[in-house]
């Protein structure tokens, strides 16, 4: 099994980040000096992905514009001696082969991923959620691809979350295989207390076989009338082997305000232009609190 393609569903309405996301896609909000989506695409490329499909909608054309050339701007930068910056802009557009498909109705994550059937064809493929950002030594998607390729099956990534947080995620029934890898036997979305099987939730990264498409097409709408990816995954893990990687790294949900601010602070503290300044600023501020 070789994983070369990735799908990034980014067609959600971003209601938790309103009013900012009324006209700016949440995936395009800047995290220090780059849009959220760029971090996700960098993770995919560093994991060996060559072709990337972004699932978008009619309000999100800023995403395809961003991964395109902008000759007038590059020319202006070069004329004013900023060739390096012009080169950086072009390098972003050249990172991967980009493809786009529109989700014409916002009918849930499972429905968004089902739009990728023609792009994916008959290969296994990766999914990276458009608002989940990872900070890790080995790219999180690479950790999943290594496991998927080793065990020749689908792979979902996640970590243990607290008892309080679990009802917002999903619960998994797992048995240990080796190291950080587990076999998945069952998955339940947004579990009630009596449904909890473990605290290992699935967090924004997947490698799936194309068998998921027939399953998603047959999955009835669930919560909020949306087609839930988790319902499809629960069926996939019953039909064929699926492994879980308890990934190494830190995950930020930039789709909510505190997650977005947390990510902004962490990335700003590590950024060469802002790190030292922010550290001093926080120390000064802490004196007044």
Binding site for ligand UTP (CB under 6 A): 9-16, 55, 103, 106-109, 111-112, 129-131, 255
Closest to ligand UTP by CB, 26 or 142: 26
**Cα 112 from Cα 216, distance rounded (Å):** 10
Measured CA to CA, the distance from residue 117 to residue 109 in angstroms comes to 14
Minimal distance, residue 14 CB to ligand UTP, in Å:
4
Return the number of the residue (55 or 153) whose C-beta is nearest ligand UTP.
55
Distance, CA of 234 to CA of 184 (rounded, Å): 9
Compare residues 175 and 224 and give the one whose CB is closer to ligand UTP: 224
How near is the Cβ of 10 to ligand UTP at its closest, in Å?
5
Q: Residues 83, 202: contact at Cβ < 8 Å?
A: no
Q: Minimum distance from CB of 162 to ligand UTP (Å)? A: 19
Q: How far apart (Å, rounded) are the C-alpha atoms in residues 204 and 132? A: 6
Q: How many C-beta atoms lie closer than 10 Å to residue 182's C-beta? A: 23
For ligand UTP, the closer of residues 139 and 259 by Cβ is 259
Least distance CB 109 / ligand UTP (angstroms): 4
In terms of CB distance, is 11 or 216 closer to ligand UTP?
Answer: 11
State the sign of the Cα–Cα–Cα–Cα dihedral 136, 142, 144, 150: negative
Give the nearest distance from C-beta 110 to ligand UTP in angstroms. Answer: 9
- Residue whose beta carbon is closest to ligand UTP: 12
Reference 133, options 272, 274, 282, 256; nearest CA is 256
Task: Let me know: does 69 contact 35? Beta carbons within 8 Å.
Answer: no
């Amino acid at each position: 099994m070789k994983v070369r393609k990735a799908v990034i569903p980014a067609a959600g309405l971003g209601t938790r980040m309103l009013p900012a996301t009324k006209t700016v896609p949440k995936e395009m909000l800047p995290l220090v000096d780059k849009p959220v989506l760029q971090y996700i695409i960098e993770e995919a490329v560093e994991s060996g992905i060559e072709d990337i499909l972004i699932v978008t909608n009619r309000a999100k054309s800023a995403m395809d514009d961003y991964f395109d050339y902008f000759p007038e701007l590059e020319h202006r930068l070069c004329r004013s001696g900023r060739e390096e910056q012009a080169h950086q802009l072009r390098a972003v557009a050249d990172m991967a082969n980009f493809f786009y498909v529109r989700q014409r109705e916002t009918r849930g994550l499972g429905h968004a991923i089902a739009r990728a059937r023609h792009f994916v064809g008959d290969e296994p493929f990766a999914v990276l959620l458009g608002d989940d950002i990872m900070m890790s030594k080995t790219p999180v998607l690479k950790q999943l691809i290594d496991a998927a390729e080793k065990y020749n099956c689908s792979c979902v990534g996640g970590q243990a979350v607290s008892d309080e947080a679990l009802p917002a995620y999903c619960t998994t029934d797992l048995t240990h295989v080796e190291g950080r890898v587990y076999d998945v036997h069952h998955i339940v979305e947004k579990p009630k207390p009596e449904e909890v099987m473990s605290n290992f939730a699935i967090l924004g990264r997947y490698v799936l076989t194309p068998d998921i498409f027939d399953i998603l097409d047959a999955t009835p709408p669930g919560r909020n009338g949306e087609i839930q990816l988790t319902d499809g995954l629960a069926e996939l893990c019953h039909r064929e082997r699926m492994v879980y990687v308890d990934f190494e790294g830190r995950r930020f949900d930039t789709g909510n305000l505190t997650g977005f601010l947390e990510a902004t602070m962490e990335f700003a503290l590590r950024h060469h232009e802002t790190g030292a300044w922010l550290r001093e600023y926080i120390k000064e501020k802490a004196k007044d609190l």
